[in-house]
Amino acid sequence: MSFEEKIDKARLPRHVAIIMDGNGRWALKQGKNRTFGHQNGVEAVRQTSEAAAELGIKYLTLYAFSTENWNRPKYEIDALMKLLVKTIDQETPTLNKNKISLSAIGNLKSLPEESYNRLMKAIEDTSGNDRMTLNLALSYSARWEITEAMKQISKEVKEGKTDPENIDQDLICKHLSTRNMPDPELLIRTSGEYRISNYLLWQIAYTELYFTKVLWPDFRKEDLYKAIVDYQCRERRFGKISEQLNKC
């Protein structure tokens, strides 16, 4: 039985988040430069998005560039930004064909103007699609996002629009960039690193974490199916004890 056949379609995660890691090591292992790894990561994005949409997953959030990644060498940042624009342009027709809408979270205004404009255009051009949302985390970090939410809430308090007594988890969620989507049930990190690297810190409070040694450019549909099967074998207790869960 393949991993795909083992998936229970009735218990799919609605939202899967991925830390796409290992592009550089994948390239260096072959004696190539890091940019070659990023270029080859595009096929993994394509396959993963397609597999997720085919399964019926509603939201796929991919960590493409972190706030901290701005500290990388300039040539690598430039190559990544170029690749972003090229990929967005190339993939928009396929996204439309597969009825996938594109969205993005992060400090998007910090992207080069060209990348920002093309990204906004692709978001607009795919906005009518409702099969799945492909959400790119770009110039994103969770601490940046939470800080922005705090600033916004403080402003509303100052203007008398929000009573500090009414600040609760729900209000905070509404000020995060993921306000229109459920929290991810499953987070996958590739490349054998066991850390979160400033990703969705608020949203992953009860997310199931899945780590694989596969380097991102090698990640294929089968790897996504494997992660989902693993997720479906877990008992999500949310603080309760096993006997309290409504088992069917």
Residues of this chain, 75-94, that bind ligand IPE according to CB under 6 A: 80
Supply the minimum distance, in Å, between the C-beta of residue 24 and ligand IPE: 3
Residues of this chain, 164-193, that bind ligand IPE according to CB under 6 A: 191, 193
246 is catalytic: no
Residues of this chain, 219-238, that bind ligand IPE according to CB under 6 A: none
Contact 49, 91 (CB under 8 A): no
- How far apart CA 19 and CA 57 sit, in angstroms, is 17
Contact 219, 46 (CB under 8 A): no
Among 16, 23, 184, 228, interactor with ligand IPE by CB under 6 A:
23
Among 13, 21, 55, 135, interactor with Mg ion by CB under 5 A:
21
Residue 33 vs 90, nearer CB to ligand IPE:
33
**Tokens, residue 64:** 């493409």
3-class SS at 18?
strand
Supply the minimum distance, in Å, between the C-beta of residue 193 and ligand IPE: 6
21 is catalytic: yes
Residue 82, class by beta-carbon neighbours within 10 Å (0-12 exposed, 13-18 middle, 19+ buried)?
middle
The amino acid present at 208, given as its one-letter code, is E
Supply the minimum distance, in Å, between the C-beta of residue 28 and ligand IPE: 7
Residue 3, class by beta-carbon neighbours within 10 Å (0-12 exposed, 13-18 middle, 19+ buried)?
middle
Supply the minimum distance, in Å, between the C-beta of residue 64 and ligand IPE: 6
| Residue positions counted in the chain | 248
**Tokens, residue 125:** 């051009």
Under rule CB under 6 A, residue 69 binds ligand IPE:
yes
Interface with Mg ion (CB under 5 A): 21
Interface with ligand IPE (CB under 6 A): 19-25, 63-66, 69, 80, 191, 193, 195, 197, 216
